[in-house]
Structure 1
Amino acid sequence: MAVTIKDVAKLANVAPSTVSRVIANNTRISEKTKRRVREAMEELGYHPNLNARSLANSSTKTLGLVMPSSAEKAFQNPFFPEVLRGISTKAHEEKYALLISTGVTEKEIYEAVVGMVQGRRVDGIVMLYSREDDQIIDYLLDVNFPFTVIGKPFQNEEQITYIDNDNYKAGKDATNYLLELGHERIGFIGGDISFMFTNDRLLGYKKALQQKGISLRSRYIVHEELTEEEMKKEIVYLMSLEDCPTALVVADDFVALKVLYILAELEISVPKAVSVISFNNLLLAEVSTPSLTSVDINIYKLGYEAADCLLKQLATSSKERKKITVEHQIIKRHSTDVR
């Protein structure tokens, strides 16, 4: 049986109307009472359907943004400032402010999002990532709160508006480009495989090799989030193999720069000894040594479209869910060779 406001009121020893006012973040309710009611809601697993309540009609003119990790850590990767540039451009056009989630651990980030929603601090949320078994997406679906996702959802795809590249095709295209240059021993260096884009690019890499009749070498594949020391060990191992890779597909430019640095330390020439292609086409790719061949996924547009879709949901109260695919292209530079 579903938990109701009356159940929460009984546990918190308040009137049902008080629970409603706490959900609406009424300033006349004391912080002590709010805390007691919210603790009761959490204990019972009660999630109000905020869209069904009259309080949803009052706009904060603010969008919430959820990072995959702490903002401090996320901003070390230039992907996030660029995607935020796209989001903020659209938000500015519609005179909306942005509120970025705080927290270091997954639990803290989840609690921050619950606070955004139950405190009515934002009108909708943009998830800046997509990964397996994400409790934040489950929560937003459960309370029927407006949100969009940058990246393909792991599940409930038909219930979610999301903006993404065709990462399977992007991974396949990057691998095919190396195959066309004459490479057959091609490695893959990814990040955390629980993120959907990493998983899809890996699948595309595998499919490209399969279609060329090239056997998959599992020892060529690294798809974990590694420290710099661990990454160096993996690169040393790969390049010490008797049949070491002559080319590498790397999950993103940020990781690829670390790979280039390690290869330079090992005095392995790029692209003479090994070619490297990566993803995102950040400014770093253009100014690295050598400059990186990279798949441009149009990060700015991913952010702009995510904000645009969310704002249209808010303006129309539409329940229609959309899938928007942003095109990609390979930007050829000096880290890949013509064989």
Structure 2
Amino acid sequence: MAITIKDVAKEANVSPSTVSRVIADNPRISEETKIRVREAMEKLGYHPNFTARSLAVKSTATIGIVMPFSASHVLQDPFFPEVIRGISVQAREHKYGMYLSTAGTEEEIFEEVVGMVQGRRVDGLILLYSRTDDRVIKYLQKIDFPFAVIGRPVLGAERVIHVDNDNIYITKVVTEYLIGLGHTNIAFIGFDGDFVFMLDRLEGYKQALSESGIPFNEDYIVHKSTLSKGKEAIKSFLRSVESPTALVCTDDFIAIELMSHFEEMNIRVPEDVSIASFNNVLLAQYSKPALTSVDIDIFQLGMQGASCLLEKIKDPNVLPKRITIPAKLIERKSCAQIK
């Protein structure tokens, strides 16, 4: 039997109209009452029918943007301001505002999303990531709330609006480029198995090695957590394996940080080690040497994600779209033919 507003009202010891006002985030309702009602909703497993409510409740004209980490952390990475810039172009065109998440941990992110949805602060959500096991996507699917993902959902992608690059293909291209320069000892730097795009990039790297007859070496996979330990961890890695002559880095920041460490260690780029990476941020062009990087068209990822979400908000019956944004390897000075 379905849980109703009356059941929630009885559990929270308030009137059904108060429950309705809490769902609408009415400012006249006290925070104490809102907390009590939301706790009752969670306890009973009550999920409002937001599609039906949208006919009776005025649109917020706001898109929620959900980031994988706290805003103070992710906005240091040029990827996120650029993808948000793409979203903002579509939002402005349709006279929508934006609401950015500020939570840090996965649990806090989930709670903030629930608060945004149940508090009726946004008409739809854009997730700027896709995790391998994501409570947020499962929750949004369960309550049938409009959302889009920048990235490939790990399960049921055909039922989810998402915008992504072909990460398997483009990483295969990058790795084959290095193999074409004569490199066989190629490391994959900055892996984080929590995110789907990382798994896809690792798969593309493996495919390129396999098709070239180069054995895959698990020791050449360096996790992001290892890099966070700094220069000593990098030295330890280089001592523990046969020195790689080329690196595929998962983003430009990692590549530029490594280049800085290598300079201190008297390791020359590209004479001693070639480096290729992803995102093609502005810094990549001005690093020394200029960084070979994959342009994933971050701006278009954001703009197309917002466009698809706004279409879904305006027409709940529209079928989910999958859009693949082309990516291109930009050759610069950080890679060289092996001697």
Q: What secondary structure, in the 3-state scheme, does the structure 2 residue paired with 1:314 have?
A: helix
Task: Report how many residues are paired.
Answer: 338
- Identity value in percent: 54
Cα distance in 2 between the residues matched to 1:156 and 1:6: 34
Correspondence 1:1-339 to 2 at 5 A: 2-54=2-54, 58-226=58-226, 228=228, 230-240=229-239, 243-339=242-338
Contact residue 247 and residue 276 of structure 1 kept, 8 A: yes
The CA deviation at 1:282 is 0.4
CA distance change for structure 1 residues 213 and 75 in 2, over 3 Å: closer, same or farther?
A: same
CA distance change for structure 1 residues 15 and 298 in 2, over 3 Å: closer, same or farther?
A: same
- Report the TM-score, using the length of structure 2 for normalisation: 0.94
Summarize deviations over 1:179-209 as a string: whole Å, max 9, x none: 1111111110123211111111011101100
The CA deviation at 1:104 is 2.5
Cα distance in 2 between the residues matched to 1:226 and 1:92: 41
Q: What secondary structure, in the 3-state scheme, does the structure 1 residue paired with 2:225 have?
A: coil
Q: What secondary structure, in the 3-state scheme, does the structure 2 residue paired with 1:120 have?
A: coil
Contact residue 253 and residue 279 of structure 1 kept, 8 A: yes
- Structure 1: where are the runs of 5+ without partners? none
Amino acid at match of 1:103: A
Summarize deviations over 1:307-339 as a string: whole Å, max 9, x none: 111111112223411110000000001100134
Cα distance in 2 between the residues matched to 1:2 and 1:207: 49
Cα distance in 2 between the residues matched to 1:337 and 1:328: 22
Cα distance in 2 between the residues matched to 1:197 and 1:99: 25
Contact residue 6 and residue 16 of structure 2 kept, 8 A: yes
Amino acid at match of 1:185: N
Amino acid at match of 2:334: S
Cα distance in 2 between the residues matched to 1:269 and 1:209: 24
The CA deviation at 1:34 is 2.4
CA distance change for structure 1 residues 94 and 211 in 2, over 3 Å: closer, same or farther?
A: same
CA distance change for structure 1 residues 210 and 30 in 2, over 3 Å: closer, same or farther?
A: same
Contact residue 149 and residue 305 of structure 2 kept, 8 A: yes
Cα distance in 2 between the residues matched to 1:173 and 1:218: 20
The CA deviation at 1:254 is 0.9
- Report the TM-score, using the length of structure 1 for normalisation: 0.94
Contact residue 193 and residue 224 of structure 1 kept, 8 A: no
Contact residue 262 and residue 268 of structure 2 kept, 8 A: yes
Amino acid at match of 1:232: K
- Structure 2: where are the runs of 5+ without partners? none
Q: What secondary structure, in the 3-state scheme, does the structure 2 residue paired with 1:125 have?
A: strand
Summarize deviations over 1:254-283 as a string: whole Å, max 9, x none: 111111111112111110111000000001
Q: What secondary structure, in the 3-state scheme, does the structure 2 residue paired with 1:312 have?
A: helix
Summarize deviations over 1:213-247 as a string: whole Å, max 9, x none: 1111111111333454x243443234335731110
The CA deviation at 1:49 is 2.3
Q: Which shifted more, 152-161 or 15-24?
A: 15-24
